[in-house]
Amino acid sequence: MTIDAIRTEIKALVFDHDAEGLAGRLARLTDAERAAVAADARGLLAELRTDWDAGWGVGGLVVGAAEVMMMVGAATLPGPAGAATWLTRRDLNPRWSDAPNPHRLVRAISGRPASWRADLAVRLARRVRRTDDRFVPLALALLRDAGVTPPDHEPLVAAWLSATVLAEDPLTPHLLPKIFEATGAGRALSAETLTPQPSHWLALTARTLPREQIIVGCVGRFLRGGDGRDLRFFVRLHTFVAPTPQESAGRLRDYLRLLPVAPGQVAELAWRQVRGARLDPADVAEAIEAMTFRQETGLAVKGLTWLDRHLGRHPERVSDHVTALTHAYGHASHEVRDRAVTLTLKHAAHLTDTAPILEAADLLPSASARQLFERFTEDWSGDFTPGRLPEATVPGPFPGSGPASGPLEVGDWVGVEAWLAAVTRQAHADRDALKQTLARRFGEELRPVLYDMPAWRSPRDWCTALARELVNPGEDPGPPDARPPRRRSSSRGTTSEGGRASTRGTTSDERQASSWATSSGERRSGAEEPGDLGQALYDSMMNVAATAYQLFPGLRTIFPLHEMPDSFQEEFLRTTDLRTDPPEPEAPPEDLYDPRTRPAPAPWNRLPSPRRCAGPDLFLLSRLDELLRAAKAGTLPPVLLATPTRADGHLDPETLLDRLIECAAAGREPLPLDLQQALLRVPPGPSPDLAERARAIGTAAAATVAHWFGRGALPSPRVELTWTLRPGSYGDQALDQDAKVSWEPIPPTGLAHLDTLLTAPETISFRRGSREFWPGMTPHHRELAAAHLAVGLIDGFHQPQLTIDDLSALAQAEGTSGPATALILAYFLTLEGDEAVPPLLRLAAEGALPAAETGRLLGLLDRRTRHAAGPALPSLELAARQGAHEEVWTILCHFLAVFLPGEGERAQRPHTDAVVLATTIATWAGARGEIPEVAAYAKRRGSTSLTRACRGLHQLLTRQT
């Protein structure tokens, strides 16, 4: 047969995917025929990439014909190095395809010389990097076929262990002894088991290798370290071999080195070896000290048990084990700590130096430390004395500001209130100067989409619009639904037939302006310079997204435009004429004290829908809307009534009267919502004298204030928290639960917006866009602000959008506290820990800490949500040390009643930690009286850590003084 016929035949076998026929034909090629086929190999590969029927792969990978092409290259390329490179080509080894048949490949190269095949086998074996490399079975098959010694290559050992097991593998004598040194070998063998009978590799290793080699290899592997999975096989192999004391004697020093730092299963094994050996006293002390240093309770208990038996025979050696005892004092397990204290007291007569014992006693709970101090200190004066609660301080004066301040940060409620007050006052005193100031400060402070947004949710947007209105009156064209469709110039893009618009032709200044993306003034991600690749990609992405939003109107129902990212809003509103869904119409704010001065209703507003806005948010934004309308109508008052005089939002009544007089002198009535906000900020309680002075001013607003002062402020709402699991919920950890914050109706004031704010919401609102303002809006009604913040806090699917600053603001406010404040405090105790301690101390100092509710809700948070109560315990102890010990005791009493495991529930370490902490706090607070849930646990049989802790607490609470 001619060379050309051979080449044609091989090509036909390749394109027919006839692997069996190809393997037999390649094995019979002569040297000349191999050279001819080898010359065609790369051309064949290129041709396969363009032949879909032959097997085209993703990304230039030949999938369907990979095996036959591997056979062609391995059987025809002249040198072993080139063949090995061919077999490991990336385009022939896609990881998602099946591995080639190693036996066919071995058959295909069977016509090559034995030395050539051995060289290829070694080279291919050295290229193994992972146990799942596709060519691993081929490399192993070539090694076995060539009968060559495998190279010293660690990944090959792990790959061999992970491959198919052969009954009589010629590689076993070469590779099995290397499992103790090869990286990855232990992980490859981690599934091997001893029971019910040793699995393959355990039995094979024990049967094949000498005992001495196994013991030395295992100990050496332990000393090199690794995690539990890496060492699991060697622990089981060592256990299976079961070294005798004589075999272990020469390696006791190695076993001692493993005790303090090795993984638990290795340390357990090492303990068994040294425990049964003959050790000198110094080695015994070292071993026990290492055991009590371990964090595993079982190992530390075994170490103390060993120490107890050792001291039973040699009590005079207790001083040699002080370090072991003091290590145990700081252990996380109550059982370990209790055993260590018992051992110390049992052998106290033989201790010569008690200073280390007393120094380490501070690590113990109060009750345990007390035993040591009473035994070793003659002049001990008693238990730890907690500090005193800090005195409640009055917040400082409200800071001033000017019209040029800014940019107004999102959440800076103090800055916003101060800026509004300054702008209003100067607009009345010197409007031209104010215009120049605002023009310099807010000349470019305008997001491109601000006037194209149907609703403004951020107070900063309203402030920006107010500033721009004062600089350029009438600039605002109104919401997009209240004006005709826009006609855009070519510089802003040309609308296509499909409704999309091109961004080509956009000027550099416009692209620069469109980079404003958030209400805080930050630029959107991507490059800031025009023409930059990152900016171009970002613009393209926004254009595609806006097009999809336009073509599928249903998306605007699921994802309202005003809730989309600002950069998306900008692109959509810039490139489409389609109108967004209008917000629900709402009547403009009413002047409730003088209907004759009520302004004509505007045909539009940008207030969000009440159904999507929390009550305090709507009240605040309505007040800002009122201020903007007054600026548009030229009816701004000379001064705002509601600007606080104290940093917590409190408004001094005398200052309110002075502002009313100033408005009366200017012939202007204050704005209605501004008046209502001012009434919320004055202190509670009737003030007849102030009422008479207000009535004497003679204006409608002053008459409203006089009526308010005459009857006193509104009563604080009586908030209720209802938290129930719905029928069919699976256990307490279910997400299917109802948690509703509500309060009894407050007598109406006749002021519509104020009454709305004081009404409990019917549905959960997840948007808290201006929550930082809320405590300062009701500074004398802490629980009212807390109730609005707590709405939706208990929810398995949404983040509550609260920060520790919200809790601090609540603590700074005044008024009663109830379950809403308690829920927020308990929530942050589980999350922020020590950061929640200062607000807790402030509430306790004011006598406003809802301790019982906090404890109960802390327990429910642990049971019914993902927020574990364990992290709150150190913070509660810190608060108790700083003077809130009586309040913390009340928290813990009600917490334990909910938190302790019920019938059929398994006790965990946090349960014992809570009872031990309660014992300490009860000692500091001098508490007495039974806790039923603790008493029930104390009467149980058994000697678990939790039952012992409950017995100790129960005895402390019920003992006679």
Q: Find where tokens 């000017």 sit.
A: 402
Based on the domain organization, do 40 and 117 belong to the same domain?
Answer: yes
Based on the domain organization, do 10 and 144 belong to the same domain?
Answer: yes
Nearest alpha-carbon partner for 621 in 631, 635, 610: 610
Please give the Cα distance from 263 to 563 (Å, whole number). 51
Task: For residue 149, give the DSSP letter.
Answer: P
Based on the domain organization, do 52 and 96 belong to the same domain?
Answer: yes
Nearest alpha-carbon partner for 645 in 635, 654, 636: 654
HSE at residue 24, side-chain half, CA atoms within 13 A, is: 3
Question: Can you give the pLDDT at residue 560?
Answer: 53
For residue range 361-387, what is the model confidence (pLDDT) as tens digits? 878 877 788 888 888 887 665 566 777
For residue range 261-273, what is the model confidence (pLDDT) as tens digits? 899 999 999 999 9
Please give the Cα distance from 670 to 46 (Å, whole number). 84
Based on the domain organization, do 16 and 131 belong to the same domain?
Answer: yes
Cβ(674)–Cβ(640) below 8 Å: yes
Nearest alpha-carbon partner for 724 in 818, 531, 624, 863: 863
Q: At a CB cut-off of 8 Å and minimum separation 6, what does 727 contact?
A: none
| 335 in any annotated domain | yes
For 33, the domain range is 3-148
Give the number of other Cβ atoms within 10 Å of residue 49's Cβ.
16
Task: For residue 585, give the DSSP letter.
Answer: P
Backbone angles phi, psi at 742, to 5 degrees: -145, 170
HSE at residue 751, side-chain half, CA atoms within 13 A, is: 23
Cβ(676)–Cβ(710) below 8 Å: no
Based on the domain organization, do 564 and 682 belong to the same domain?
Answer: no
Among 711, 732, 766, which residue terminates a domain? 711
Q: At a CB cut-off of 8 Å and minimum separation 6, what does 706 contact?
A: 691, 692, 694, 695
| 374 in any annotated domain | yes
Is the pLDDT assigned to residue 668 strictly greater than 80?
A: yes
Backbone angles phi, psi at 802, to 5 degrees: -115, 155
Please give the Cα distance from 837 to 337 (Å, whole number). 28
Give the number of other Cβ atoms within 10 Å of residue 647's Cβ.
16
Angle (nearest 5°) at CA 366 between 361 and 367 = 105
Based on the domain organization, do 315 and 355 belong to the same domain?
Answer: yes
Question: Can you give the pLDDT at residue 265?
Answer: 92
Based on the domain organization, do 7 and 124 belong to the same domain?
Answer: yes
Helices (H), 110-171: 114-126, 136-146, 154-162
Question: Can you give the pLDDT at residue 221?
Answer: 92
Least confident of 116-120, 333-337, 533-537, 624-628: 533-537
Cis omega before residue 196 (within 30°)?
yes
What residues are paired with 725 via a beta bridge?
737
Based on the domain organization, do 602 and 569 belong to the same domain?
Answer: no
How many helices (H) and strands (E) in the chain?
A: 48, 2
Task: For residue 510, give the DSSP letter.
Answer: H
pLDDT, the chain, mean: 79
**pLDDT band at residue 580 using 50, 70 and 90 as cut-offs:** very low
Please give the Cα distance from 577 to 915 (Å, whole number). 66
| 97 in any annotated domain | yes
| 69 in any annotated domain | yes
Determine what percent of the chain is predicted with pLDDT higher than 90: 28
Give the number of other Cβ atoms within 10 Å of residue 281's Cβ.
12
> What is the helix (H) or strand (E) element at residue 233, kind and residue range?
helix 228-241
Based on the domain organization, do 667 and 701 belong to the same domain?
Answer: yes
Q: Find where tokens 């040309």 sit.
A: 494
Based on the domain organization, do 599 and 573 belong to the same domain?
Answer: no
| 494 in any annotated domain | yes
Among 114, 129, 148, which residue terminates a domain? 148
Question: Can you give the pLDDT at residue 39?
Answer: 85
Average pLDDT over residues 75-97: 84
Average pLDDT over residues 246-272: 90
Average pLDDT over residues 511-529: 33
How many independent structural domains does the chain possess? 4
Is the pLDDT assigned to residue 137 strictly greater than 60?
A: yes
Q: Find where tokens 């300062």 sit.
A: 776
Based on the domain organization, do 7 and 39 belong to the same domain?
Answer: yes
| 537 in any annotated domain | yes
Q: Higher confidence at residue 928 or residue 498?
A: 928
Cα–Cα separations (whole angstroms), residue 17 to 12, 59, 79, 100, 663: 9, 21, 25, 13, 95
Distance of CA 424 to the CA centre of its chain: 43
Question: Can you give the pLDDT at residue 170?
Answer: 92
For residue range 51-79, what is the model confidence (pLDDT) as tens digits? 544 444 444 455 567 788 888 888 888 89
Helices (H), 781-836: 782-790, 804-812, 819-831
Average pLDDT over residues 328-348: 88
Task: For residue 514, give the DSSP letter.
Answer: T
Least confident of 14-23, 399-408, 559-568, 626-635: 559-568
Least confident of 208-222, 484-498, 822-836: 484-498
Please give the Cα distance from 96 to 103 (Å, whole number). 21
Joined together, the tokens standing for residue 897 give: 């009643």
83 in helix, strand or coil?
helix
The DSSP result for 271-335, as a single string, is: HHHHHTS---HHHHHHHHHHHHH-S-HHHHHHHHHHHHHHHHH-GGGGGGGHHHHHHHHT-S-HH
| 215 in any annotated domain | no
Cβ(599)–Cβ(635) below 8 Å: yes
Q: At a CB cut-off of 8 Å and minimum separation 6, what does 499 contact?
A: 547, 550, 551, 576, 577, 578
pTM here is 0.66
Joined together, the tokens standing for residue 761 give: 């919401």
Based on the domain organization, do 631 and 674 belong to the same domain?
Answer: yes
Question: Can you give the pLDDT at residue 684?
Answer: 82
Q: Find where tokens 């109060």 sit.
A: 366
Cβ(931)–Cβ(896) below 8 Å: yes
Please give the Cα distance from 915 to 928 (Å, whole number). 15
Is the pLDDT assigned to residue 548 strictly greater than 80?
A: no
Among 711, 732, 758, which residue terminates a domain? 711
Least confident of 289-293, 511-515, 638-642, 845-849: 511-515
Q: At a CB cut-off of 8 Å and minimum separation 6, what does 436 contact?
A: none
Task: For residue 882, give the DSSP letter.
Answer: I
| 766 in any annotated domain | no
**Most confident residue range from 280-284, 388-392, 849-853:** 849-853
- Using only C-alpha atoms, the chain has a radius of gyration, in whole angstroms, of 40
Question: Can you give the pLDDT at residue 587?
Answer: 37
Q: Higher confidence at residue 754 or residue 880?
A: 880
Question: Can you give the pLDDT at residue 538?
Answer: 53
Nearest alpha-carbon partner for 300 in 330, 280, 257: 330
The DSSP result for 9-55, as a single string, is: HHHHHHHTT-HHHHHHHHHT--HHHHHHHHHHHHHHHHHHHT-HHHH
For residue range 851-898, what is the model confidence (pLDDT) as tens digits? 999 999 999 988 888 888 988 999 999 999 888 999 999 999 999 999
Question: Can you give the pLDDT at residue 149?
Answer: 92
379: exposed, middle or buried (C-beta count within 10 Å: 0-12, 13-18, 19+)?
exposed
Cis omega before residue 407 (within 30°)?
yes
Query: What are the E-state strand segments in 84-131?
Result: none
Please give the Cα distance from 682 to 915 (Å, whole number). 44
Question: Can you give the pLDDT at residue 258?
Answer: 92
Q: Find where tokens 């310099």 sit.
A: 440
Nearest alpha-carbon partner for 139 in 173, 175, 167: 175
Please give the Cα distance from 292 to 295 (Å, whole number). 8
Is the pLDDT assigned to residue 553 strictly greater than 90?
A: no
